[in-house]
C-alpha cells in the first residue's frame, strides 16, 4: 500500500490512464484524471476519484500544456504525477518543475531522463557501462561530416534523431546521394517532432530482430530485469504486436541481455520501470539502441509471464519502497502475446477514427483486454490511434497463438476499421509461426504490396 504519496494526478488519457486509476485505487491512493475537451466522453474521467478539464482537444493545448497541468495539480492538491507513456512521460523540463515544486514525478530522476532521452548521451553511457553498441557517431553538424562518417562506417547506415524515438527522424541510407538528400529531411522531422534537429549516424543492421528487456529499479540501488519482449512486428518503425519471451533468442543470450540492461540502468542511476531496447542480428549478437524511462505500451506481456504488476511497482518505487523480490525470485512462465488494436485501416495503416456502433470484448481463460472504449464512444481524431490492447497467455507459444486466434475472432467492433484483420493474418504467416520474422517483415510484405497495388 502507498505510504507517502496519496493524491496522484494522471497526466495522460486512454487505456493507460484507466490502467493507472486501477492500480492507484488498489494501493489505497486517490486518482485525479485530467482530460481535454476532445475527451469529455472518455471513460477515464469518470473512473477517477476526481477529474478536471485542462484545455481544448489538441494535445499541445491540453496534455502537452505544462502550465495547464500544473494548474490542475495546484487546484486538486495532488502530491504526485503519473505520466504513463507519450506526452510528458520523458520530458525533463516537466519533471524538473515538479521536483522544484516538491511534487513527486512517478518516474526516473531528471538527470536519468536527460541521459536516456538523448540517444547520443545514452549511447555514451552504454559504452561506459560495457554494453554492446552499434558502430556509430555523435550528433553530426554538417553534410561534409556526415559523408565522412558514413564512408568510415560503411553503407548502409541509419540516420536517427538524437532527442527521440518512435521512428521519427529515422532514415535508412544506402549511398552518398541518398545521404545528401535525406539528411535535411531527417533533421527537419527531428526538429518538428522533438524540438531538436540533431541527428546521428549508426551502422544499419539488415533484417534485425527488435528485442527489449523490462527492468525495475528502486531508489535504494536494487535493479532487476523482468524478462524480454520480442517487438519485431512493426510498420514504419511502429510496433503492432509484441510477445514474451522472444521465440528467437536462447536462454543464454536472454540472460546476457538482461544483465546488460541492468548494467545500463545502474550506469545512469535509473529508478522506476524502464525498458532497455536492443537490435539483434541473425547470429544473436545484440546491440544497445536506447532506454525508455517509462512504462511501455507492451508492458502487459511481461506482467502476464512474470506475475509482477509493473504499474503498481512504479507507484511503490516512487513512494520510496524497496523491491520485495530479487533477481533469483523472478521466474517467468508461459508465453504471452499482445495485439495493438488501433483505429486504422488495416491495409494502409492510416488512422480511421469514428463512432463505435457495437462492441463485444473477448474474454475467458488467458485473455485480457486493456482499453477505454465502449459502445457509442466516438474516437477523437486528435491522438494516437491505439484504442485497445488484447493480451493472451498460454503455457506455450503454440497455445498462446491458438488463444490469440480465438480471441481476435471473438473481438467484435463495428463502426470503424481496426487492425484486428491484420493480426488475424499475422498469426497465420509462416515467418511468425516459426519465429523468424524481423523488423522489415511487415513493411516488405504488406506495405510494399499495398503500394504496388495502388
pLDDT tens digits for 337-370? 999 999 999 998 999 999 999 999 999 999 999 9
Residue-wise pLDDT for 27-49, tens only, equals 999 999 999 999 999 999 999 99
Element (H, E) at 215: strand 209-217
Query: What pTM did the predictor assign?
Result: 0.92
What are 131-172's pLDDT values in tens digits? 999 988 889 989 999 999 999 999 999 999 988 766 777 899
Residue 95 CA to residue 70 CA, distance in Å, equals: 11
User: CA–CA separation, 75 vs 275, rounded Å?
Assistant: 33
CATH hierarchy code of domain 7-106: 3.40.50.20
100-128 as b/e: b if 16+ CB within 10 A: eeebbbbbbbbebbbbbbbbbbbbebbee
**Preceding amide of 208 cis, omega within 30:** no
d(Cα 45, Cα 21) in Å, to the nearest integer? 10
**Burial classification of residue 199, based on how many CB atoms lie within 10 Å of its CB (0-12 exposed, 13-18 middle, 19 or more buried):** buried
Backbone angles phi and psi of 355, in degrees to 5: -100, 135
DSSP H stretches of helix in 130-170:
143-153
Q: Mean pLDDT over residues 251-256, rounded?
A: 98
Q: How is residue 319 written as a grid cell?
A: 513512494
In the chain, ranges of CATH 3.40.50.20 domains: 7-106
Q: Nearest to residue 337, comparing CAs of 409, 241, 257?
A: 241
**pLDDT tens digit string along 203-224?**
999 999 999 999 999 999 999 9
130 or 447, greater pLDDT:
130
User: Strand (E) positions, 281-366?
Assistant: 286-292, 335-342, 358-360
Q: What is the DSSP letter of 329?
A: G
Considering the chain, tell me which residue range(s) the CATH 3.30.470.20 domain(s) occupy. 209-453
- Give the mean pLDDT of 84-103: 97
pLDDT at 454 over 50: no
In terms of DSSP H, where are the helices of 77-164?
92-100, 110-117, 119-129, 143-153
The pLDDT confidence band at residue 451, using thresholds 50, 70 and 90, is very low
Q: Is the pLDDT at 182 greater than 90, yes or no?
A: yes
Distance (Å, rounded) from C-alpha 350 to C-alpha 258?
35
Provide the CATH topology of domain 135-203.
Dna Ligase; domain 1 (3.30.1490)
Of the listed ranges 165-174, 318-327, 422-431, 433-442, the one predicted with least confidence:
165-174
Please name which of 125, 122, 131, 124 lies closest in space to residue 165, comparing C-alpha atoms.
122
CATH superfamily of 209-453: ATP-grasp fold, B domain (3.30.470.20)
Instruction: Name the DSSP letter for residue 77.
Output: T
Q: How far is CA 136 from the centre of its chain?
A: 24
User: Which positions are annotated as active-site residues?
Assistant: 294
Is beta strand 30-35 parallel, antiparallel or unpaired with respect to 358-360? Answer: unpaired
Report pLDDT for 449.
63
> Is residue 277's pLDDT more than 80?
yes
Rounded to an integer, the average pLDDT of 72-101 is 97
Q: How far is CA 447 from the centre of its chain?
A: 22
Count of Cβ atoms closer than 10 Å to residue 364 Cβ: 10
Q: Where in the sequence of the chain do the CATH 3.30.1490.20 domains occur?
A: 135-203
Task: Please provide the average confidence, as pLDDT, over all residues in the chain.
Answer: 95
Rounded to whole angstroms, the Cα distance separating 277 from 177 reads 30
Categorize the per-residue pLDDT at 237 as very low, low, confident or very high, splitting at 50, 70 and 90. confident
Across 365-391, average pLDDT: 97
Residues 6 or more apart whose CB falls under 8 angstroms from that of 328 comprise: none
The answer to whether 335 touches 400, Cβ cutoff 8 Å, is yes
Amino acid at each position: 500500500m502507498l505510504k507517502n504519496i496519496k493524491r496522484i494526478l494522471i497526466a495522460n488519457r486512454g487505456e493507460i490512464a484507466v490502467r493507472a486509476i486501477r492500480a492507484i485505487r488498489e494501493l489505497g491512493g486517490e486518482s485525479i484524471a485530467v482530460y481535454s475537451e476532445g475527451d469529455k466522453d472518455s471513460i477515464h474521467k469518470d473512473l477517477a476519484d476526481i477529474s478536471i478539464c485542462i484545455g481544448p482537444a489538441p494535445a499541445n493545448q491540453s496534455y502537452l500544456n505544462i502550465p495547464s497541468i500544473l494548474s490542475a495539480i495546484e487546484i486538486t492538491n495532488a502530491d504526485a504525477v503519473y505520466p504513463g507513456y507519450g506526452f510528458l512521460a520523458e520530458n525533463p523540463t516537466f519533471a524538473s518543475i515538479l521536483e522544484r515544486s516538491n511534487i513527486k514525478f512517478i518516474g526516473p530522476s531528471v538527470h536519468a531522463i536527460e541521459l536516456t532521452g538523448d540517444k547520443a548521451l545514452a549511447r555514451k553511457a552504454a559504452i561506459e557501462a560495457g554494453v554492446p553498441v552499434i558502430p556509430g557517431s555523435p550528433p553530426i553538424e554538417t553534410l561534409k561530416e556526415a559523408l565522412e562518417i558514413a564512408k568510415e562506417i560503411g553503407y548502409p547506415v541509419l540516420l536517427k534523431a538524437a532527442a527521440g524515438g518512435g521512428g521519427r527522424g529515422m532514415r535508412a541510407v544506402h549511398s552518398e546521394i541518398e545521404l545528401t538528400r535525406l539528411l535535411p529531411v531527417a533533421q527537419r522531422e527531428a526538429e518538428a517532432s522533438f524540438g531538436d534537429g540533431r541527428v546521428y549516424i549508426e551502422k544499419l543492421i539488415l533484417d534485425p530482430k527488435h528485442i527489449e528487456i523490462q527492468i525495475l529499479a528502486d531508489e535504494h540501488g536494487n535493479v532487476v530485469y523482468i524478462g524480454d519482449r520480442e517487438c519485431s512486428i512493426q510498420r514504419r518503425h511502429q510496433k503492432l504486436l509484441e510477445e514474451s519471451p522472444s521465440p528467437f533468442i536462447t536462454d543464454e543470450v536472454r540472460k546476457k541481455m538482461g544483465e546488460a540492461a541492468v548494467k545500463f540502468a545502474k550506469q545512469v542511476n535509473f529508478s522506476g520501470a524502464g525498458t532497455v531496447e536492443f537490435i539483434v542480428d541473425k547470429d544473436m549478437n545484440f546491440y544497445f539502441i536506447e532506454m525508455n524511462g517509462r512504462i511501455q505500451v507492451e508492458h502487459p506481456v511481461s506482467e502476464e509471464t512474470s506475475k509482477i504488476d509493473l504499474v503498481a511497482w512504479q507507484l511503490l518505487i516512487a513512494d520510496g519502497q524497496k523491491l520485495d523480490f530479487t533477481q533469483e525470485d523472478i521466474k517467468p512462465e508461459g508465453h504471452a502475446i499482445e495485439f495493438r488494436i488501433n483505429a486504422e485501416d488495416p491495409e494502409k495503416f492510416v488512422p480511421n477514427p469514428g463512432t463505435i456502433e457495437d462492441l463485444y470484448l473477448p474474454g475467458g481463460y488467458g485473455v485480457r483486454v486493456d482499453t477505454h472504449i465502449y459502445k457509442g464512444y466516438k474516437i477523437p481524431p486528435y491522438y494516437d490511434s491505439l484504442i485497445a490492447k488484447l493480451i493472451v497467455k498460454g503455457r506455450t507459444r503454440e497455445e498462446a497463438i491458438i488463444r490469440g486466434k480465438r480471441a481476435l475472432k471473438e473481438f467484435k467492433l463495428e463502426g470503424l476499421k481496426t487492425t484486428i484483420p491484420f493480426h488475424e493474418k499475422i498469426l497465420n504467416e509462416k515467418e511468425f509461426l516459426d519465429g523468424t520474422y524481423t523488423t522489415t517483415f511487415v513493411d516488405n510484405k504488406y506495405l510494399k504490396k499495398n503500394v504496388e497495388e495502388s
